[in-house]
Structure 1
Amino acid sequence: MTLFNAASHWANVFGILGNIVSFLVFLSPLLTFYRIFKRKSTEGFQSVPYSVSLFSAMLYLYYAFLKGDVNENGTLLITINSFGIAVEVIYLAIFMRYATREAKIYTTKLILLFNIASYGAIVGLTYMLGNSYLRLVSIGWICAIFSVCVFAAPLSIMRRVIRTNSVEFMPFPLSFCLTICAIMWFFYGLLMKDLYIAMPNILGFLFGIAQMVLYTVYRNRNKNNPNEDASDIEAVVVESQENAAPTT
């Protein structure tokens, strides 16, 4: 087996593993939406994380199709991001079904401005570029920058852990899965020589490790801070799940 074929083989392995772990991460809020469905109320939960995750999946799906224009294989990116789009649309539909009138209006504006207008502007502007490779590079940088912002979102959760001495709102299994997810996609991007996937996942790996270290340090400390309301804690858990959606 030549060096090139070996790299391609292992890239596919890491890409498939990345799909599997990302699949689980996308499904992590299922219990939350079961609660929303059961109680017929969105309570204190917000729609922003789901809109952000949908936007990220849409960006990377577009990027994957652009890879085909320059004869690069983006199949593994297409599969997981297509699934991610479908799941996030379902989440948003359920949210809209049980949200208050004010939340429905806000979510509608968010989707129109963020997921439709902003995404449409990005697609339109990049398609004005005549060169396929330049188009791919442009959207690649947009994806990488947005991914860095998404990976930085859990900083607020980590700060709250330190302030409250409680890891109740930073579940270890989720941090572990996100770290493994970042590792899989980093090696996929590295072996495929796709820096727009590899680079942001370095940050994802570092934040994942930092969260697991914090969990180890604070897990035996005070778990029930009197200043933390139970509903606030649960809302933060969901926020951390969705803001740390897999970057592919």
Structure 2
Amino acid sequence: MVSSEAIRTAVGILGNAIALGLFLSPTPTFVRIWKKGSVEEFSPFPYLATLLNCMMWVVYGLPMVHPHSILVITINGSGVIIELSFVILFLLYSQRGKRLMVLAMLLGEIAFVGVVALLVLTLTHTYERRSLIVGVICVFLCAMMYASPLSVMKMVIQTRSVEFMPPFLSLASFFNGTCWTAYALIRFDPYIVIPNSLGAIFAVAQLILYATYYKSTKEQMEARKKAAEMGLAEVVVAKGEANKISSTPNGYKSEIREM
């Protein structure tokens, strides 16, 4: 008979793979940002929230905080590297005001995690107490990470457009939240169950919004494309008329002025 621990490990490995997909899911968005040289209306908050969440979970998974949590460390360590790369791209392609805001938040997150780790490791002396303190913080931060697209969801409802709410991120969030909830239920860990179950619920809400406004988004994008094509045509016609006038003989123009 397969032990519950073996099943939990298998689910954790699957959770690692799904979470890696979650962390990499915004890649098409950042390819677009890189090609256009602008972050447009994309929000940096989901990536900053995910980065802070991953850094804190790395602290939670440390052997001196919560032993036997290597799968938590491996995936969240990968998440730190990936999300930091995305945040750096935001810094490179944002306007000055947004760039300073993102930089200040990034430095603040690094300082916060460093202070928490230092205080927990020096002032508390049992695994239970360290797990409790860091775990509660992780629950809060993980819930924030999953809830961070709420500002984007508000914009989606107002504009009836999902152009700036990547569906891959929502889908990956759903599978990730579901898998890690199952992982934590096998050997009950409330610090993992609570935020990931909430994450699955938030992801479902985002997917419902995407399905609701996908058609209107396509219509808006088509309308913008047609408007741009018409504007270009008008510019070409106007330029052609200007060329005709400039090529008219001087004598003819003078006759027009005399009339």
Length-normalised TM-score, structure 2:
0.73
Larger Rg: 2
* Amino acid across the alignment from 2:171: F
Q: Which runs of 5+ in 1 are unaligned?
A: 231-248
Measure how far apart 1:198 and its partner are.
Answer: 1.0
Q: Match of 1:69, SS?
A: coil
Contact preservation (8 Å) 1:167, 1:223: no
Q: Which residue of 1 aligns with 2:118?
A: 124
Q: Which residue of 1 aligns with 2:77?
A: 82
Aligned CA distance change for structure 1 residues 94 and 219 (closer, same or farther; 3 Å):
closer
CA RMSD of aligned residues (A): 2.9
Q: Which residue of 1 aligns with 2:49?
A: 52
Q: How does 1:1-248 map to 2 (within 5 A)?
A: 1=1, 6-65=3-62, 68-69=63-64, 72-113=67-108, 115-127=109-121, 128-220=123-215, 223-224=218-219
1:96-120, Cα deviation, whole Å (9 max, x unpaired): 334444444333322222x222122
Contact preservation (8 Å) 2:59, 2:65: no
Measure how far apart 1:43 and its partner are.
Answer: 4.2
Runs of 4+ off more than 6 Å: none
Q: Match of 2:192, SS?
A: helix
Q: Which runs of 5+ in 2 are unaligned?
A: 226-259
Aligned CA distance change for structure 1 residues 135 and 31 (closer, same or farther; 3 Å):
same
1:161-203, Cα deviation, whole Å (9 max, x unpaired): 4444444444544333221111100011111321101111111
Distance 1:70 1:112 in 2: 24
Moved more, 156-165 or 200-209: 156-165
Aligned CA distance change for structure 1 residues 55 and 71 (closer, same or farther; 3 Å):
closer
Measure how far apart 1:72 and its partner are.
Answer: 3.3
Aligned CA distance change for structure 1 residues 146 and 175 (closer, same or farther; 3 Å):
same
Q: Which has the higher helix share?
A: 2
Contact preservation (8 Å) 1:157, 1:169: yes
Distance 2:155 2:224 in 1: 13
Contact preservation (8 Å) 1:166, 1:224: no
Moved more, 24-33 or 151-160: 151-160
Distance 1:167 1:152 in 2: 17
Distance 1:157 1:104 in 2: 19
Length-normalised TM-score, structure 1:
0.76
Identity across matched positions, percent: 34
Contact preservation (8 Å) 2:161, 2:217: yes
Moved more, 127-136 or 79-88: 127-136
Distance 1:98 1:158 in 2: 23
Contact preservation (8 Å) 1:47, 1:107: yes
Moved more, 81-90 or 47-56: 47-56
Distance 1:183 1:39 in 2: 35
Q: Which residue of 2 aligns with 1:238?
A: none
* Amino acid across the alignment from 2:22: V
Q: Which residue of 2 aligns with 1:236?
A: none
Measure how far apart 1:211 and its partner are.
Answer: 2.9
Distance 2:174 2:67 in 1: 27
Contact preservation (8 Å) 2:64, 2:127: yes
For these two proteins, the number of residue pairs brought into alignment is 223
